[in-house]
Structure 1
Amino acid sequence: MSGSDETAITVTLRVNRFTPRPERDRGDRGSRAGRGGSPFGKRGGSPFAASSASRVRRARGKSWTQDYVLTVAPDATVLDCLLAVKRTMDPTLAFRYSCGHGMCGSDAVAINGTPTLLCTASVKEWAKADRTTLTDDDGFRRTDAGLVDGEDRRDDDDRLDDGDLGVIELSPLPGFPVQRDLIIDIDPMLDQIRRLEPYLQADGALARTSEGKIDVFEYLQNPEQLAKYEMLSNCIACGVCEGSCPVFAGGDAFIGPAALIAASRFVNDSRDAATDRRLEMIDTADGVAACQSVRACSRQCPRGIDVGEEMWQIVAKVKER
């Protein structure tokens, strides 16, 4: 862990854990072998599968909450803490990460209920008092947590001990199937992005100069044209906007803000010739029509994209089409 022993403090990681139940081998179970599920179910699957790919059957297994107490530097990241737990306390703890610098987006989780990246979240920013220990004389938890008019009115017994920074609650990113502990299945999101063909589609015609030669600068853009989509190209498909979206995370059929951002990136690209087709693909009940303009998707984007504003812009383009 970073930092010196003099600045070290105590923090509790409260992790929502999950272990899936092992799938049983049905290969020798008589006439139902290989089919799975109810013998009365349709083999063709749901007719709405194409429009609700994000709604995946929830895995079954064991769920529980586990606390890990660590001594860390206040400026350590939550990812640093999890790595310390993994290496020195509990090797069974499962979470995903890669670059550790907020560039890959693989370590998105919910910290204290807010979707964000483990590697960019510092302990001092996210640790909070453990409200489950703030009780009155009768043993009931005080809903005001001892705060009156914004001032701390807790008794001395309710205050955090010196050097105790508090609790950080960790849970999987909302809206995604959980595979194990903090690891989610992001395939539904990636499938929705791929569904909208996130690649440049030029008209294929070679521009020529007045002399009849091929114009090597046919795709040259000016700064204004580049600015229309440059920020959108920074999306790392971390899923934070999807986990923040009450429609997507709520389980409704919605293609999701990540896919719409990918579509908007090319709609705003002057080199792309498939704008009409792209707008038609998202003009569906589970496309822009499902967006409720809550703009919660903008709050924690690690790349600084105003996702909610882009949603509004792409909805306006669809309506004007």
Structure 2
Amino acid sequence: MTDSTMTTVTLKVNRFTPRPERERERARGGSPFARRSSPFGGGSAGAAARRRPRGRQWVQEYTIPARPEDTVLDCLLAIKRTVDPTLAFRYSCGHGMCGSDAVAINGTPNLLCTATLKDWAKPAAVHQVDDEGFRHTVNEPDNGRTDADAKAADGASLGVIELGPLPGFPVQRDLIADIDPMLDQIRKLKPYLQADGILATTKEGKVDVFEYLQHPDELAKYEQLSNCIACGVCEGSCPVFAGGDAFIGPAALIWASRFVNDSRDSQAMARMDAIDTADGVAACQSVRACTRQCPRGIDVGEEMWQIVAKVRER
């Protein structure tokens, strides 16, 4: 794309800089009512970790050259390298396989590396003042064009994209959320294969190399669930999960379901007992918001319904 046809995009980034730890400790030590014994200060390390961090919050706008097929991650990397090196965000593979770059894009949890500008950029809001002095917000006119490639032809702006940290989790800095609460919930459910430990042998007394041989229908029961990358998109979409102990969250239940449905695992009943709790399947409200935007194509809402039904019917 030549300079004459290069388009631009504006990113509105919700930024956050935490207050230095020394200041927080000094403020905390200066008041006897701010110690851990206070019911408002949290009595456990987990509660303290989930407490909303204090610091400076603001919205910063960046307008940069971009193409409709660029991803939001491409734009953030360009900003980081050429405009503002202080901007903080997390990413790894850049191909939608690791799940480390989940954020809120226009208020919807998604991955930075798979979200393209042509799909997420929206017209900029323009303020107009009427004859009576009232201000109205209208969308920027696009001269009848509705597609990003048409705008690229005349060098117009692709629009605006709003970015924020993944909802439901404490913010560490800018677009980086602390997803440890979700990972801790997954670990509690022992997300690994637990076989009976008995070495299968053949009639001749040799080791049976086909001990864990499965039929295609047995594999199909959990194969899709094994694609979960623990990105947190489903948890950020869930109105019940808030990074705490009230609900273990859809990601943890998906991992539990993956092994409950595995014919090689011998702990299915124990796994269902572990999630048959007040903060487990009982806390799911079947809103199915967790299904939206799963980057691995898992119908999380349907799988949640299936595991809830299985737990209640066992």
TM over 0.5: yes
TM-superposition CA deviations, 1:92-130 (whole Å, max 9, x none): 000001111111111100000000000001111111112
What CA distance in whole angstroms lies between the structure 1 residues aligned with 2:178 and 2:86?
18
Tell whether the 8 Å contact from 1:55 to 1:251 is kept in structure 2 after alignment. no
SS at match of 2:62: strand
Matches within 5 A, 1:79-98: 79-98=73-92
Tell whether the 8 Å contact from 2:4 to 2:155 is kept in structure 1 after alignment. no
Task: Name the residue aligned to 1:187.
Answer: 180
Cα shift at 1:165: 1.5
Is 1:201 the counterpart of 2:194? The answer is: yes
Cα shift at 1:249: 3.8
Task: Name the residue aligned to 1:14.
Answer: 12
SS at match of 2:50: coil
Match of 1:113 among 107, 112, 124: 107
What CA distance in whole angstroms lies between the structure 2 residues aligned with 1:136 and 1:25?
45
1:63 and 1:297, CA in 2 relative to 1: closer, same or farther beyond 3 A?
A: same
Is 1:37 the counterpart of 2:34? The answer is: yes
Task: Name the residue aligned to 1:73.
Answer: 67
Paired residues, what number? Answer: 303
Match of 2:54 among 60, 66, 70: 60
TM-score by length of 2: 0.87
Structure 1 segments, 4+ long, off by >4 Å, are 25-29, 144-147
SS at match of 2:252: helix
In structure 1, stretches of 5+ residues that fail to align are 153-160
Tell whether the 8 Å contact from 2:87 to 2:174 is kept in structure 1 after alignment. yes
Matches within 5 A, 1:218-237: 218-237=211-230
SS at match of 1:135: strand
Match of 2:135 among 131, 136, 140: 140
What CA distance in whole angstroms lies between the structure 1 residues aligned with 2:36 and 2:2?
62
In structure 2, stretches of 5+ residues that fail to align are 145-153
Is 1:23 the counterpart of 2:16? The answer is: no
Cα shift at 1:136: 4.4
Match of 1:306 among 279, 299, 302: 299
Cα shift at 1:46: 3.8
Tell whether the 8 Å contact from 2:12 to 2:62 is kept in structure 1 after alignment. yes
RMSD: 3.1
1:10 and 1:173, CA in 2 relative to 1: closer, same or farther beyond 3 A?
A: same
1:40 and 1:304, CA in 2 relative to 1: closer, same or farther beyond 3 A?
A: closer
What CA distance in whole angstroms lies between the structure 2 residues aligned with 1:222 and 1:308?
26
1:207 and 1:246, CA in 2 relative to 1: closer, same or farther beyond 3 A?
A: same
1:54 and 1:306, CA in 2 relative to 1: closer, same or farther beyond 3 A?
A: farther
TM-score by length of 1: 0.85
1:263 and 1:297, CA in 2 relative to 1: closer, same or farther beyond 3 A?
A: same
What CA distance in whole angstroms lies between the structure 1 residues aligned with 2:92 and 2:228?
16
Cα shift at 1:208: 2.4
Cα shift at 1:141: 2.4
What CA distance in whole angstroms lies between the structure 2 residues aligned with 1:98 and 1:284?
35
SS at match of 1:120: coil
Is 1:178 the counterpart of 2:171? The answer is: yes
Q: Which amino acid aligns with 2:80?
A: K
**Worse overlay, 212-221 or 297-306:** 212-221
What CA distance in whole angstroms lies between the structure 1 residues aligned with 2:26 and 2:303?
52
